[in-house]
Amino acid sequence: MDSLIPTETREERRDDSLRTAVTPDPSILAREAEEQEPTIATAPSDDPPDGGLTAWLTIMASFLLNFVDLGFSYGFGVYQEQYKLREFSDVSVTQIDLIGSICMALSLFLGAFMARPCQRFGMRAVAVLGSIILFVGTLSAGFCTSVPTLIVTQGIIQGAGAGILFIPGAAIPAQWFSKRRALAIGIGSSGAGLGGVFWSLVGRLLISRFGREWALRISAFVNLGLCAIAIIFLNERKTRATRKEEGEKKEPILDRNMFRDPVFAVLYCGNGVSVFGYLVPFFYLPTFASTRTGCTPFLASLLLSMMNLGSAVGRIIFGAIADTRVGRFNTVLIGMAWAGASQWLFWSLANVRGSYGLSMVFAIVYGLCGGGYIGIFHVILAHVFDPTRLAALTGLFFTSELLGQTTGGPIAGAILQNTGEDWYPMIGYSGASLVMGALLGWMAKIMFERREKREREEGEKTEGRDGAA
């Protein structure tokens, strides 16, 4: 009988039978979909939670670590004044500057080498090591009576401890926040500003009451206690075992390949230039106020406290602004440019008139702008590059500050000393470094936007070709 059926009809019948054999029953498909739905709905997300108790406690830990490692260093101006005007008046200001400059340089430079230890041992273990070294450096400085020994203890050892603490404090917020990342980082980094406020005022009170040696010893124990609290709440979102299961690659100690990226290279140079002048007001404003306005030591230290308070507030405000339409790049670069311009404007006017009031205005404005931009600078790294590599990128990026942090203060001191205590050249140098850094930053921004536009256009062309095909 099949021979009487046309060939096309026989083929259609075979196709129908095949379709019937391989096509599942609709009811079976429905049941399978119902069984799979809960699995899809409850699949864990890899995105940061952007909130929650653990996340905010981790931000508190970041705040406390910044309070100790950078905040204590920002309060060095009190000790600078003590050394220059009272204890070591016969020693050159350039040599005294090395104590604070080396400490700040190591605080940031050593961060470049902490990404691998943080990845291998965890941020908590690294923070424990940093806390102990910082404690030893500060405590031993309390027994030193010469500038060279203070350079070793308060400069090198304390700076090494602060440098080891830097990455756990700076990089941990990015693990817990995405949409509000700049704000979270701003809140965490505001600890540096408030730490500067605290240690400027308390440092001066301790020196007045107990002397410089006991002031350092007491400070060492206070910082150790704050670090202990921070370490308890320093939670990483993914454990080392989890990261290993997910196939996380080992970070290189220094990823030199990043310098092949022109955006990173120009940003690196801009940041490196800016820091030559960034710390100059923190180190010299108390001395300026004492010599030019004739204020008391307490009022001189109050200027430093207000600058650090402005820095703390600026970090939060700039962090909130950076998450808006203004953008992260624009927020950072505007703050950097105004930090330099404020020195030319307000600090110069204070010098002309010998005015304590104008010195206070400058302290607040500079704190807001300078602290605001530097506190969230690494948000740009998370914005432009891979945010999951923020610890490694932050460490590498801040190696750009080694030369400026080490020599910026001593250069300012040499300018001041060689111009017969004329403050204008030093102020001009300090402000210029920040403005030049901002200009280089704008260049990097333009390069990044052009690259984004080019990649977007290439993507649209590719989609168009795929659609046509």
**pLDDT of res. 8:** 46
Decide if 340 is inside a domain: yes
Q: Tokens for 111, please give them.
A: 């961060």
Task: Please give the average per-residue pLDDT across 406-431, as a whole number.
Answer: 88
CATH number at residue 322: 1.20.1250.20
DSSP output for 304-357: HHHHHHHHHHHHHHHHHHHTSTT-HHHHHHHHHHHHHHHIIIIIHHHHHHT-HH
Of the candidate ranges 132-141, 307-316, 370-379, 437-446, the one whose mean pLDDT is the lowest: 370-379
Decide if 6 is inside a domain: no
**pLDDT band at residue 334 under the 50/70/90 scheme:** very high
Decide if 96 is inside a domain: yes
**pLDDT of res. 343:** 95
Residue 137 has pLDDT above 60, yes or no: yes
| Segments in 83-179 forming alpha helices (H) | 93-109, 115-121, 123-141, 147-150, 158-171, 173-176
What is the average pLDDT value for the chain, to the nearest integer? 81
Decide if 42 is inside a domain: no
Amino acid at 343: Q
Task: Please give the average per-residue pLDDT across 64-70, as a whole number.
Answer: 91
Q: Tokens for 306, please give them.
A: 């207000």
For residue 157, give its domain range.
54-454
Dihedral sign (CA 5, 10, 12, 13): positive
**pLDDT of res. 469:** 60
Decide if 186 is inside a domain: yes
Q: Tokens for 277, please give them.
A: 């002048």
Bigger pLDDT: 427 vs 403: 427
**pLDDT of res. 120:** 82
Decide if 194 is inside a domain: yes
List, for residues 422-454, the tens digit of each pLDDT value: 899 999 999 999 999 999 999 999 998 888 888
Bigger pLDDT: 248 vs 275: 275
Q: Tokens for 97, please give them.
A: 């500057």
Number of domains in the chain: 1
Of the candidate ranges 84-88, 156-160, 462-466, the one whose mean pLDDT is the lowest: 462-466
CB-CB neighbours of 40 under 10 Å: 8
Decide if 4 is inside a domain: no
Task: Determine the angle formed by the axes of helices 390-397 and 262-278, rounding to 10 degrees.
Answer: 50
Amino acid at 37: E
**pLDDT of res. 35:** 43
**pLDDT of res. 392:** 66
Task: Please give the average per-residue pLDDT across 107-124, as a whole number.
Answer: 80
Residue 388 has pLDDT above 70, yes or no: no
Q: Tokens for 314, please give them.
A: 């600026």
Contact 412, 285 (CB under 8 A): no
Task: Please give the average per-residue pLDDT across 319-329, as a whole number.
Answer: 82
Bigger pLDDT: 232 vs 315: 232
Amino acid at 41: A
Residue 28 has pLDDT above 60, yes or no: no
CB neighbours of 285 closer than 8 A, spacing ≥ 6?
77, 300, 303, 304, 307, 359, 362, 363
Decide if 49 is inside a domain: no
